């Protein structure tokens, strides 16, 4: 992010005014765009508010910006001497992808504001939990001789082979490199399935609550969603049957192991029943399985795909929750017809994924240090989970209740008294902590998802303290 140069002789307010003027002239801040409040911009640029007041005053005097009571400061609607400009607001409201949910946008804005938040909202691994040294070792020691043309949109063949071996060894899934599609993460697998295998108006069943609720992606594609309640055993196959009868659902999306957000694991019997039910109805199951290898028990819970004998399951996974989300490496194991269709779509979308992360991932999956890394990751996540649970018991013993997750990155926390989600989130932000209100996942009000994986280990207790403070303030307001 740009900041004024304190060594420069030009006064800070002038540097800021020049910078904003340049962005306005380049069209990066088109006429009508809202500028941050003086206080907010001062915080972002690390200067006094009076410096921003002076910079804005300067721009107002030159007719570049205007401030109207009640609506803040904007770039002037009609700038003398500027070419006619497109009305970007009209365009940005169009397109096929709906904007993200307001709560998610609010959390993202807060986390990008530069203010020092403890982030219990982000469901990624903290940087120190990734196999950074191994990745550096691969980049330093392995010779890279691959041709850098457009690759195979289905994915780099050595990576597909490594994924097939990994799935066989770690998840008991039979796959060949032909039945694997490399994606830029599970998110892209979900997107491809939605865009290429479903049509507007189709009905699907998803878990309720679920990560998928927070994906406007389904709504953008015109898909009708029906929620399967999640209990400690997972979802009820009878409910799937009922949805099929009533709404002709065409697919069932499940995250059966350490489900996001509840952390529950569908029992092995339930998995077999669900598969059986979907086979009888002739509808596919999308099994989203990013967390299973974080299991704190000796064995990771088995996937539905391991017992799929008829090709009913589209199995998706990724390196995001076990190695590094920034590598953007995911995969799908599915029948050939599906893989061919989705690879063809990749060809239209982006000609497939960049070769570099695929090359790194192929080496990482084959590396002898992967198993010890996973071992260390599980130990660290368990320690973090216990620190968070201990702090919650200590700070909020009577106010909240939760089950200890047996794996995954998140703790699903019920607030015993009634609170308004948006008030709790606001108070959280004011206290310097971020978390995700349960309604984002489709849950009734009164739940939050707290991630123990992303913030530094030292910040977990402090984050819970801040959350406790926010909750107490919210309870006293109602
Ligand atoms: C259940 C679930 N599926 C998919 C994703 C997307 O992950 P990625 O695209 O990084 O693999 C997430 C991310 O949090 C998730 O929780």
**pLDDT above 80 for 3:** yes
Task: Read off the pLDDT of each residue in 254-277 and give the average, rounded to a whole number.
Answer: 96
Is the beta carbon of 288 within 6 A of some atom in ligand 1? yes
List b or e across 220-245, with b for residues whose CB sees 16 or more CB atoms inside 10 angstroms: bbebebbbbebeeebbbbebbeebbe
Whether residues 69 and 113 share a domain: the answer is no
Is the beta carbon of 255 within 6 A of some atom in ligand 1? yes
Best mutation site among 209, 210, 211, 258 for ligand 1, i.e. most ligand atoms within 8 A of its Cβ?
211
**pLDDT above 70 for 291:** yes
For 141-158, the pLDDT digits (tens) are 999 999 899 999 999 999
CATH code, 121 = 3.90.1150.10
Is the beta carbon of 318 within 6 A of some atom in ligand 1? yes
Residue 115 Cα to ligand 1 midpoint, Å, equals: 26
Read off the pLDDT band of 113 (50, 70, 90): confident
Looking at the structure of the chain, the number of domains it has is 3
More confident residue, 113 or 301: 301
Q: Which token pair is 65?
A: 């910006």
For 118-142, the pLDDT digits (tens) are 999 999 999 999 999 999 999 999 9
User: Which residue has the CA at smallest separation from atom 13 of ligand 1?
Assistant: 123
**Contact call for residues 411 and 417 (beta carbons, < 8 A):** no
CATH code, 77 = 1.10.10.10
Q: What is the pLDDT of residue 92?
A: 78
- CA–CA separation, 13 and 36 (whole Å): 15
Which residues does residue 73 pair with via DSSP β-bridges, in sequence order?
Answer: 35, 67
Task: Read off the pLDDT of each residue in 92-121 and give the average, rounded to a whole number.
Answer: 86
Edge to edge, the sheet with strand 224-229 lists: 180-183, 330-333, 313-318, 285-288, 251-254, 203-208, 224-229
Q: Which residue has the tokens 């071992």?
A: 375
Whether residues 409 and 471 share a domain: the answer is yes
Whether residues 355 and 381 share a domain: the answer is no
Q: Is residue 2 part of a domain?
A: no
Domain range enclosing 344: 132-368
Is the beta carbon of 183 within 6 A of some atom in ligand 1? no
Is the beta carbon of 51 within 6 A of some atom in ligand 1? no
Whether residues 87 and 106 share a domain: the answer is no
For 463-476, the pLDDT digits (tens) are 999 999 999 999 99
Q: How many CB atoms lie within 10 A of CB 262?
A: 28
Read off the pLDDT band of 228 (50, 70, 90): very high
């Amino acid at each position: 992010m740009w900041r004024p140069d304190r060594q420069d002789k030009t006064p800070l307010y002038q540097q800021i005014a020049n910078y904003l003027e340049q962005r306005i002239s380049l069209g990066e801040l088109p006429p009508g765009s809202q500028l941050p409040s003086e206080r907010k911009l001062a915080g972002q640029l690390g200067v006094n508010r009076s410096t921003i007041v002076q910079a804005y005053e300067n721009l107002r005097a030159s007719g570049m910006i205007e401030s109207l009571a009640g609506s803040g400061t904007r770039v002037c609607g009609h700038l003398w001497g500027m070419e006619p400009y497109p009305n970007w607001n009209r365009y940005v409201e169009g397109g096929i992808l709906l904007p993200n949910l307001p709560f998610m946008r609010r959390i993202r804005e807060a986390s990008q504001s530069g203010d020092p938040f403890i982030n219990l909202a982000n469901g990624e691994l903290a940087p120190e939990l990734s196999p950074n040294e191994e990745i550096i070792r691969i980049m330093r020691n392995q010779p890279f001789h691959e041709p850098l043309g457009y690759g195979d949109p289905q994915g780099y063949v050595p990576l597909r082979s490594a994924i097939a071996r990994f799935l066989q060894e770690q998840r008991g899934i039979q796959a060949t490199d032909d039945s694997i599609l490399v994606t830029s993460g599970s998110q892209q697998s979900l997107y491809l399935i939605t865009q290429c295998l479903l049509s507007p108006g189709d009905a699907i069943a998803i878990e309720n609550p679920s990560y998928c609720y927070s994906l406007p992606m389904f709504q953008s594609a015109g898909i009708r969603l029906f929620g399967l309640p999640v209990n400690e055993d997972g979802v009820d196959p009878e409910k799937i049957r009922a949805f099929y009868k009533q709404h002709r659902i065409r697919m069932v999306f499940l995250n059966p192991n350490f489900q996001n957000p509840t952390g529950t694991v569908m029992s092995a019997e339930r998995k077999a029943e669900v598969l059986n039910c979907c086979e009888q109805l002739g509808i596919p199951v999308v099994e989203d399985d990013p967390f299973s290898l974080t299991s704190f028990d000796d064995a990771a819970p088995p996937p539905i795909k391991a017992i799929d004998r008829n090709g009913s399951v589209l199995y998706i996974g990724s390196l995001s929750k076990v190695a590094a989300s920034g590598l953007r490496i995911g995969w799908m194991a599915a029948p050939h017809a599906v893989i061919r269709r989705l690879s063809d779509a990749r060809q239209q979308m982006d000609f497939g994924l960049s070769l570099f992360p695929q090359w790194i991932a192929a080496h990482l999956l084959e590396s002898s240090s992967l198993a010890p890394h996973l071992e260390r990751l599980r130990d660290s996540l368990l320690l973090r989970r216990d620190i968070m649970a201990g702090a919650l018991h200590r700070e909020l013993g009577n106010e909240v209740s939760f089950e200890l997750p047996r794996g995954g990155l998140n703790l699903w926390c019920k607030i015993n008294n009634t609170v308004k989600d948006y008030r709790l989130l606001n108070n959280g932000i004011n206290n310097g902590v971020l978390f995700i209100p349960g309604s984002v996942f489709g849950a009734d009000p009164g739940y939050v998802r707290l991630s123990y994986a992303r913030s530094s280990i030292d910040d977990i207790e402090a984050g819970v303290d801040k959350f406790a403070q926010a909750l107490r303030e919210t309870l006293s307001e109602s």
